[in-house]
Amino acid sequence: MRISNRKRVMVTGGAGFLGSHLCDRLLREGCDVLCVDNFYSGTKDNVHHLIGNPNFELIRHDVTFPLYVEVDEIYNLACPASPIHYQRDPVQTTKTSVHGAINMLGLAKRIKAKIFQASTSEVYGDPEIHPQPESYWGRVNPNGIRSCYDEGKRCAETLFFDYWRQHDLEIKVVRIFNTYGPRMHPNDGRVVSNFIVQALRGDDITIYGDGMQTRSFCYVDDLIEGFVRMMGAAKEVTGPINMGNPGEFTIKELAETVLNMVGGKSKLVFKPLPSDDPRQRQPDIGQAKSILGWEPQVKLQEGLEKTIDYFRKQVSASVM
């Protein structure tokens, strides 16, 4: 017999950038939260403030191995998401996406839990359609240096929908576009954190390619709101649903904006574009708006201010 009426929610990758913010949100909503992470790219610092909360539990575990727990909902966020981290051990990255999905889906099936998959805009590869709707199948290199992540996430989506069709499992699949905010890893190679840290240190700001490639940047609080709405949607709402900010900026525009906000004397330095780096990335969020009533609220300038404040404290404390 259950002693508590609190919803029990597991977040894999819960000590990561997105996972830790999701744990915060779920605890504020009165859930019991089980945070699962192997700390490959996540860090205990991201959830340190939650240690001691009686409704929060932290487990060191790698999702490529089965896990036996009792929960009501599972958010599967486990997988390094930045190129530097996922290319460091590409075989393990693929295993995390594929074996991790198999293990979490198997758990959800056994305990009849609702399960959420954090997929990615990288399933679209270097797109021929702009902006990218969920109906677009993508243009992905299956054997490039980014394929461990791109194809791993595509396979995870396949597994989720096969479990849904074959076992009537309640699934929720969200495709995440570029997200930024406090608790990003300072050395993860993503443009927002890169540019902010370089500007704060007075280093040259490194732009790969000509800087004309575009990205759309969503503040983390907006994305977490979308996650929660998706998990709370009706059973027939499976996704995949795009989540991101459709405001599109060139990488050069982002660098110049960060530099103006931080100040200093950093210069823009251009280097060759990495292999398979997409030229355009912008979400079509029509489904998120019509089905979930969700769209981003935080403007880029506002989100950057909060993110810069976070990294300024990190630089001042010489943590990085």
Label residues 47-61 b or e (16+ Cβ within 10 Å = b).
beebeeeeebbbeee
Cα distances (angstroms) measured from residue 137 to each of 34, 83, 178, 287: 34, 22, 19, 16
Q: Among the residues of the chain, which ranges form H helices?
A: 17-28, 83-88, 90-111, 147-167, 191-201, 220-231, 251-262, 286-292, 300-316
Catalytic annotation present for 149: yes
**Phi, then psi, of 119 in degrees rounded to 5:** -90, -165
The radius of gyration computed from the CA coordinates of the chain, to the nearest angstrom, equals: 19
Q: Angle formed by the axes of helices 300-316 and 251-262, to 10°? A: 60
Question: CA–CA separation, 121 vs 113, rounded Å?
Answer: 26
User: Quick check: 23 and 47 in contact, CB under 8 A?
Assistant: yes
Cα of 55 vs its chain's centroid, Å = 24
Q: How many of the other CB atoms lie within 10 Å of CB of 4?
A: 8
- Kindly name the residue from 149, 163, 180, 219 that is annotated as catalytic: 149
Give the C-alpha separation, 85 to 63, whole Å: 17
Active-site residues: which are they? Answer: 149
